[in-house]
């Protein structure tokens, strides 16, 4: 965990130095706050555009996939926040394996959820005599 944090920090520092050098070559002198405004602003809007395109496509395919992506993202943030909190407070060890075990736990429980969802869909098909897409579709679209 410590090695991953150091690697990420080093990557951010390298980008920071390169960005400052690039700005200096063009005669642009930004404060740290101004640099954060531009870098995070531009990165954020690009990331939003990509995310929006992917989620728009996924929403036509599966709301479960969207919910899963959102949940995994939040779980990752929470897991790393817990590990960082353990390092800061000294109440536990900051270890990458702790984080991966927590994420593995969510994935195992999510697989059980998917199996139950599949089982209920199969039972619904079995007793309704129709395919799942017809039984869950919009009644107006069948006209």
Q: Of the spans 2-6, 9-13, 46-50, 109-113, which averages the highest pLDDT?
A: 109-113
| Ramachandran bin of 95, using left for φ above 0, alpha for ψ from -120 to 50, beta for the remaining angles | beta
- Identify the pLDDT of residue 83: 84
Q: Of the spans 7-16, 90-99, 114-123, 133-142, which averages the highest pLDDT?
A: 114-123
- Identify the pLDDT of residue 143: 47
pLDDT tens-digit readout, 65-118: 999 999 999 999 998 888 888 888 887 777 778 888 889 999 999 999 999 999
* Model confidence pTM above 0.75: no
pLDDT tens-digit readout, 21-43: 888 899 988 888 888 888 888 88
Is the pLDDT reported for residue 138 higher than 90? no
Give the burial string for 14-50 (b: 16+ CB within 10 Å, else e): eeeeeeeeeeeeeeeeeeeeeeeeeeeeeeeeeeeee
Nearest to 1 by CA among 105, 81, 109: 81
Q: How far apart are CA 16 and CA 96, in angstroms?
A: 25
- Identify the pLDDT of residue 68: 93
Is the pLDDT reported for residue 122 higher than 90? yes
């Amino acid at each position: 965990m410590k090695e991953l944090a150091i690697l990420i920090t080093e990557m951010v520092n390298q980008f920071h130095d390169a960005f400052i050098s690039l700005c200096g070559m063009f005669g642009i002198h930004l404060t740290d706050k101004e640099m954060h405004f531009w870098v995070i602003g531009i990165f954020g809007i690009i990331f939003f555009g990509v995310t929006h395109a992917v989620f728009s496509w996924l929403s036509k395919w599966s709301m479960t996939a969207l919910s899963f992506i959102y949940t995994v993202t939040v779980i990752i943030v929470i897991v790393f926040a817990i590990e960082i909190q353990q390092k800061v407070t000294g109440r536990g060890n900051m270890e990458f394996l702790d984080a991966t075990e927590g994420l593995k736990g969510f994935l195992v429980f999510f697989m059980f959820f998917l199996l139950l969802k599949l089982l209920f869909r199969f039972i619904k098909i079995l007793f309704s005599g129709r395919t799942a897409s017809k039984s869950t579709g919009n009644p107006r679209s069948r006209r």
